[in-house]
Structure 1
Amino acid sequence: MAILRRALSWLLQTLSRFLLLVVQAGCWLSKAPPTPGPPRDPVLLIPASVLAEKIRRGELKSSIVVQSYISRIREVNPALNALVCDRFEEALGEARAVDDLVASKAEDEATLKEKYPLLGVPVSVKEAFALQGMPQSSGLISRQSLRSTTDAAVVSRLKAAGAIPLGVTNCSELCMWYESSNNVYGRSRNPYNTQHIVGGSSGGEGCILGAAGSVIGVGSDIGGSIRMPAFFNGIYGHKPTPGIVPNDGQFPNAHGTRVELLCTGPMCRYAVDLPLVLKVMAGKNTEKLSLDQDVSLRHLRFFSMENDGGCVFVSPMDKELVEAQRRVVQYLETSLGVTVQPISIHNMRYSFQIWSSVMSLDEDKAESFTDLMSDGKRMWPSWELVKWMFGLSKHTIPAIGLALTESLANMNPQGSAKMVQKAKNLKEELNTLLGNDGILIYPSHPKIAPKHHQPLAWPFNFAYTAIFNVLGLPVTQCPLGLSQAGLPLGVQIVSSQYNDHLTLAVAHHLEKSFGGWAPPKNV
């Protein structure tokens, strides 16, 4: 079986790299635009929780804050292509209404805080979520003329808390690839170096936040779609315990077993904002968490695993990422007086196979990826690939590739059943390991933000994040400064279910030493 797996891995990687060469051959004349510099407006450097406090006190007008962010977006977005549709005029009108409310003194500061914890704070939203009046194509040409008439549940809650949406951000086609590019809006570019990817599928969201064009945002995650963009763009992202934040109002939504894998969660530039935004998103489900509980980090048990154990489908870890994780371990041991135990969990090496097998369960209850691409008409993925080679397809090559492989998912039912059992065993093992006071430090991705198209050569590297969707564990993605090339470093912080407050507390502690989000520099 080991020889067979290696042969299959070689075949898949060879095909992927051939596709990469084909794509790059067609793009060699394109030139990446200059990377935007750091923000100069000090308003853009204030956390959302502090902005809301200043606005409620009348120390800072919401209209000034919103205008500052609009100006920043107009400055950086031509190079980044992160925000794909704006509602700037409406946002400014809503900000002026906030200023009028505060000036009227009809309600005192304490009342405003209780009713509107995010009063006057700008927010950006992944285009896959319904935001009234905005497009919701999820990168499909067949949906490009669609405009939302309602708000997704999480968007509605943010609005009710006083947040002001600025617009919607780019994603990968049908939210199933880790580079945000589609044939409706084009490709998003990394704010730290525009030759590199922003991640996916919430890539435009991570990008606009990393560029200081937004301060808080909405993302979704079925295989790492919050955490990979947060990692590649140097910000914080949190995949909550499943079922805490509603997924209603996004496209595509999850059905069958996939409901347990898909999570909606906050993406933020500052760790301090994560608990506040998560509370708003969760609504009454906040009661299931302990977000207001003081956490004594010295009394937690810490574990560290530096790689997945050697999956044949996934590339080796970048040396700088391993070194960054070791610095985290050293800092925790020094600052807290704890011992971080190195561990090796055997079944983690099967992360991709486990995720793929679990995603394929109950397919009769979930609309297939091919069906979603088809727009009501029968689509033949192999014919679509031929059309793509001649520039005639409406779809991106990752989407076509996924449609081609989708039919192969259940060709080995015994192998899939074995992987599903491994998922159950791994879940039990990690729950036992972590208990209610354990933290696992785990890599975010084996590579620092790759250049555009390079994910085609390593299509399964998302397994480092995807495994935690299968396990149903809350995870916070934390930035750890910049690499020698000026690209973000990071790590995942994992705990057991309903212990989101532990990962958030560790993230806040790491921010003090590692600096959290670092502004992009001119390249």
Structure 2
Amino acid sequence: MALSYVERLQLWVMKAIMAFLYALFWMLTPRPRADAPTKVPPLTNPLLKLSATQLAQKIRRREVSSVEVVQAYIDRIQEVNPLLNAMVKDRFSAALLEAAQVDRMIEEETVGGEEDLAQRLPLLGVPLSVKESFALQGMPHTTGLRSRAGLLASVDAPPVAYLKQAGAIPLGVTNIPELCMWGESHNRLYGITNNPYSLDSTPGGSSGGEGSLLGAGGSVIGVGSDIGGSIRIPCFFNGVFGHKTTPYVVSNDGQYPPCSGRQEDYVSTGPMCRYAEDLLPMLKIMAGPSAHKISLSQPVDLKKLRFFSVPHDGGSPYTSPVDKQLLQAQRQVVEHLESDLGVKVQELHVPELKYGYQIWEVFMGLPDKDGKPPQPFAELMGEGGSSVWAPWELVKWMLGRSSHTMAAIGLAMFEMASGKPSQFILQQKEALERRLEELLGTDGVLLYPPHPRLGYKHHHALFTPLNFAYTGIFNTLGLPVTQCPLGLSREGLPLGVQVAAWRHQDHLSLATALYLEKAFGGWRDPGDP
């Protein structure tokens, strides 16, 4: 079906604005010095190359102290954060005190021993990083808004609380885009975050600070949230693992901005980590009393699964063509699954995916069951006051007087031009939902690119802002998806693939991630030559 008049107008306006912004940024962006570092240095401490599961075991067995582990991560953050600006506020002194308490507790443990500790406190003594949009007691909780500067969280968000109760020790909070609604972790409060593999590139968003710190080896496990790809895109750009959980399994409470309209149906909180074996135990902890909703303890025989591969969205006018290196990486996954497991991977072309962006936009704007629409982005930017008027904010930005980023202003302007949902798009979503439910069932796994492009240079996401449709469509469908690294491109940037399953079948994509880590090497040290 051809685009409607309103859709054509939106696309034309968007492309015109993007062309103007591209020219403006090209003129204003300073060029890096010839002698400036291009990526973070390699890891040297062997403790940084162990999974959280391995670290917890070594701490319980007294093979290493929690203080040693926490100090190793503090040292690494202090080494790389000046290059990355990933952690925006630390709690190093408190973390070291908590680590010392862990070590004393283990020394004094007389009942139950190691097995009891593993059951009660599976992450005892392991460092943790947290996305700044989550409440972490005593830490900033601003989501990058200048109007919220100085605001500290008085409690922990539930998933953070569960991880702390399992023994994890938070080191600090990490950077995000303004109000979490952009693919570049940049705001006027904390500045911009860099990618550890290419310092002049973006780590993605909105969990970009988490992705950057994890990819650089400055964290081993982290907490992220995802409403359009905000876990998966940063995990892809930074070469780490992440999981978008089936909705309503992990609590979304304690985040800012809060959900409105029907957004609760599409947002997911989930784990981010460097090692695939940490995904499932983290998710089990973060889900708390809702862990029973997904069969995390159910064994998975990959040879009995049905695998499907979709190489692209079919040519949407809103998205870029998929990079040839990403297509090749996905083909290599298919070939390996077929040769090693003896399964047949069916390649599919799903025509409804071509409307992925329009579907996401329509459903994100739907009212809740009481008919109340989602809170406008311009109103959120105003933070308790009147809504910002985007054209005026653009003028202020050009004069260097705005408290908001160009991305946030652009989103507010785009919101002004949004039209009413079309019946055709609603039908496409329903058809896609039926197709994937029949296709995947309880034993199907789908491979799909995480993004059409490899890592962007800073601010270049402004020129192709709708490429997140490759991840956003799964939010609208409510499917669990695990993002898996697949080595590095010729340019040294991470490659990767999304692994999706049907609702509440999270264990299938998590098991596939473990397999792909062994097959393709998982996370790579960005500092290696």
The TM-score normalised by the length of structure 2 is 0.96
Structure 1 residues 7 and 385: alpha-carbon distance in aligned structure 2, compared to 1, 3 A threshold: closer
| C-alpha contact 1:201 1:225 (8 A) present in aligned 2 | yes
Identify the residue that residue 241 of structure 2 maps to in structure 1: 236
* Shift, 1:367, TM fit: 1.9
One of 272, 292, 303 as aligned partner of 1:287: 292
Name the counterpart of 2:358.
Answer: 353
* Cα distance in 2 between the residues matched to 1:452 and 1:288: 39
Identity of aligned residues (%): 53
Contact 1:6 1:312 in 2 (8 A): no
Counterpart of 1:517 in structure 2: which amino acid?
Answer: W
Q: Distance in 2 between matches of 1:511 and 1:465?
A: 21
Select 1:471's aligned residue among 473, 477, 484: 477
The counterpart of 2:376, out of the listed 368, 373, 376, is: 368
The residue aligned with 1:79 is 83
Which letter maps to 2:64? L
Letter in 2 for 1:62: S
Moved more, 397-406 or 419-428: 419-428
| Residues 1:116 and 2:121 aligned together | yes
Aligned residue among 8, 21, 25 for 1:19: 21
Residue type matched to 1:173 in 2?
E
Amino acid of the residue matched to residue 419 of structure 1? I
CA distance 1:369–1:353, shift in 2 (3 Å): same
State yes or no: 1:502 paired with 2:502: no
Matched with 2:131 is 126
- Can you list the C-alpha shifts for 1:250-275, whole angstroms capped at 9, x where unaligned? 10121231100110000010000000
**Offset at residue 14 of structure 1 (A):** 3.2
Find the aligned partners of 2:60 and 2:42 in 1 and give their Cα distance: 28
Q: Which secondary structure does the structure 2 equivalent of 1:316 belong to?
A: coil
1:12 shift after superposition = 2.0
Q: In structure 2, what is the Cα distance between the partners aligned to 1:120 and 1:88?
A: 14
On the 8 A contact 1:441/1:491 being kept in 2, the answer is: yes
Q: Give 1:26 shift.
A: 1.7
Q: Which of 60, 63, 70 pairs up with 1:59?
A: 63
1:29 is displaced (CA, Å) by: 4.4
- The 8 Å contact of residues 365 and 374 in structure 2, kept in 1 or not, is answered as no
2:386 matches 1:382: no
Higher deviation after alignment, 7-16 or 49-58: 7-16
Distance 2:176 2:89 in 1: 12
Residue correspondence of structure 1 range 282-431 to structure 2 within 5 A: 282-362=287-367, 364-375=372-383, 376-409=385-418, 411-413=419-421, 415=422, 417-431=423-437
Amino acid at match of 2:377: F
Query: How far is 1:521 from its partner?
Result: 2.4
1:91-121 CA distances to partner (integer Å, 9 max, x unpaired)?
Answer: 0000000000001123411211111010000
Which AA in structure 1 matches 2:526? P
Mean alpha-carbon deviation: is it higher for 213-222 or for 367-376?
367-376
CA contact (8 A) 2:366 2:374 kept: no
CA distance in 2, matches of 1:378, 1:245: 31
Q: Deviations over 1:291-349 (max 9, x none)?
A: 12211100100100000011001011111000000000000001100000010111100
Matches within 5 A, 1:145-224: 145-224=150-229
Q: Say if 2:43 and 2:527, in contact at 8 Å, map to a contact too.
A: no
1:11 Cα deviation from its structure 2 partner:
4.2
C-alpha displacement of 1:30: 5.3
Partner of 2:447: 441
1:34–1:79 Cα contact (<8 Å) kept: no
1:365 Cα shift?
4.1
CA contact (8 A) 1:17 1:456 kept: no
Map of 2:47 onto structure 1: 43
Conserved in 2, the CA contact under 8 Å of 1:370 and 1:403? Answer: yes
For 1:341, what is the secondary structure of its paired residue?
strand
- 1:464 offset after TM fit, Å? 0.2
Partners of 1:378 and 1:8 lie apart in 2 by 22
Q: Deviations over 1:409-429 (max 9, x none)?
A: 2x334x2x4323322221111
Aligned-residue offset at 1:509: 0.4
User: What is the aligned partner in structure 2 of residue 104 from structure 1?
Assistant: 108
Write the mapping of 1:445-456 to structure 2, written as runs, cut at 5 A. 445-456=451-462
Q: Which moved more, 1:67-76 or 1:4-13?
A: 4-13
Give the conservation status (yes or no) of the 8 Å contact 1:126–1:171: yes
1:378–1:292 Cα change, 3 Å: closer
**Counterpart AA for 2:65:** K
Q: Over residues 395-450 of structure 1, what are the superposed CA-to-partner deviations in whole Å (9 max), with x where a residue is unaligned?
A: 001100111111322x334x2x4323322221111111101100000000000001
Report the number of matched residues: 520
Corresponding residue for 1:2? 2
Unaligned runs of 5+ in 2: none
CA contact (8 A) 1:35 1:522 kept: no
Q: How far is 1:368 from its partner?
A: 1.5
In the other structure, the counterpart of 2:147 is: 142
In the alignment, is the contact (CA less than 8 A) between 1:448 and 1:489 conserved in 2? yes
Structure 2 counterpart of 1:383, one-letter code: W
Q: Which amino acid aligns with 2:78?
A: R
Amino acid at match of 1:210: G
The answer to whether the Cα contact below 8 Å between 2:445 and 2:500 also exists between their aligned partners in 1 is yes
Structure 1 residue ranges without an equivalent (≥5) = none
